[in-house]
Amino acid sequence: MPEINGVEVEDTYCEAFEGIYTRILITAKYEWLLKKAAYGATSLPSTVFGESEGGVETFVSPEETPDGRLGAILQIWVAKTKKFHDILMREFGKRVRQGVLVVPTTRVFDASVESSVNKFDSNVNVGRCGDDYQWFEERWGREMIIVPIMFGEFAIERYIGYSEGVAGGNVWIFCESDDSAIEAGEVAVKALRRIEGIVTSFDICSAGSKVETKYPEIGPTTNHWYCPLLREKIPDSKVPEGVRSIPEIVINGINLESVERAIYVCMKVASKVDGVVKFSAGNFGGKLGKYRIYLNDVIKKFNY
């Protein structure tokens, strides 16, 4: 039976999807303002509402930012639908304007990783909130938009890259108690904070969902087959005996390799937590997503 550090790994795959993301670097004068903007702008993951989700990839040293200030790398994701460009424009505008621009001293820089990336003009969805009092200026080696605001100024790089990545990668951690679930989830999320290119929009997600629902108007519903409380109440529960909690770590990454690596690290570190008894992952029979990431394949691939 496949396993990692003695913990069973179900012979299954997580189904992941094509998503469109932007990767930006934000900076601020003090760490507390930076954190407020970083966490605020990436909270409320609402792709299931036809909106967007985000995450903090990592915090970076002043040595690594164009303006020499404290920085954070963020990702903002939308589903790859036909209208993704419009949705991305609206959602990027909303998250940056309502989550970053409103926080004193913040700036936004493009942090695209590929040369082939597409770019949009952030003057359209962010800069124009300067009501045409904004101007363009070369600063910190970048082409910036300077938006005069009541606090002083807000600066955003004019051209922001967007690209296709891999969204919805996930690992399910079967645990004997909610406390081991919290510990395993936190260990996994903190280890993933070190992996370049990925974000965990929900961090320790307590409410994995399924596609089927009686209420399509409110989106995905609870994955009842994997709800420990329903184990004795429904005939087709898939919760093993003794399992009381199954947190999910949802992983988006800039490419397949980064998501695979993250899935491996997630299992590797969580496997050492007392009370973790099994790993699995969510899929929809492979009908919906482009990618199938087999848990056992990533174990073989990254087992260093």
Residue with tokens 């469109």: 20
Residues 192-221 touching a second copy, rule: CB under 8 A, are: 193-194, 202-210, 212-215, 218-221
| Amino acid found at 11 | D
Complex with a second copy: residue 52 or 163, whichever CB lies closer: 52
Shortest distance, CB of residue 116 to a second copy, whole angstroms?
A: 29
The torsion of the CA quartet 176, 177, 183, 185, rounded to 10 degrees, works out to 70
| Cα end-to-end distance, the chain, whole Å | 20
- Cα separations (Å) of 69 from 25, 61, 296? 11, 8, 42
Residues 6+ apart with CB under 8 A from 145: 122, 123, 126, 127, 130, 134, 135, 136, 137, 155, 156, 157, 158
Judge whether 120 and 45 are in contact, CB under 8 Å: no
Residues 118-137 touching a second copy, rule: CB under 8 A, are: 125, 128-133
**Is residue 93 within the footprint of a second copy (CB under 8 A)?**
yes
Q: What is the separation of C-alpha 285 from the centre of its chain, rounded to a whole number of angstroms?
A: 23
Complex with a second copy: residue 80 or 97, whichever CB lies closer: 97
Q: Which of 186, 255, 277, 296 binds a second copy (CB under 8 A)?
A: 186
The angle formed by the CA atoms of residues 23, 190 and 285, to the nearest 5 degrees, is 70
Shortest distance, CB of residue 59 to a second copy, whole angstroms?
A: 9
Q: Which of 7, 17, 45, 298 binds a second copy (CB under 8 A)?
A: 45
Residues 244-303 touching a second copy, rule: CB under 8 A, are: 244-248, 265, 268-269, 272-273
Stretch that binds a second copy, among 8-16, 108-116, 162-170, 180-188 (CB under 8 A): 180-188
Residues 13-42 touching a second copy, rule: CB under 8 A, are: 29-33, 36, 39-41
Helix (H) or strand (E) holding 259: helix 256-270
Complex with a second copy: residue 194 or 301, whichever CB lies closer: 194
| Dihedral class, residue 98 (left if φ above 0, else alpha if ψ from -120 to 50, else beta) | alpha
Stretch that binds a second copy, among 7-15, 111-119, 175-183, 290-298 (CB under 8 A): 175-183
Alpha helices in 62-220 (DSSP H): 84-96, 122-125, 178-192
Judge whether 153 and 146 are in contact, CB under 8 Å: yes
Q: Which of 172, 279, 291, 294 binds a second copy (CB under 8 A)?
A: 172
Q: Which of 155, 183, 258, 267 binds a second copy (CB under 8 A)?
A: 183
Residues 135-154 touching a second copy, rule: CB under 8 A, are: 146-154
Complex with a second copy: residue 81 or 213, whichever CB lies closer: 213
Contact letters for a second copy, residues 50-89 (x by CB under 8 A) = -----------xxx---xxxx-------------------
Residues 221-240 touching a second copy, rule: CB under 8 A, are: 221-224, 226-230, 233-234
Judge whether 284 and 211 are in contact, CB under 8 Å: yes
Shortest distance, CB of residue 253 to a second copy, whole angstroms?
A: 17
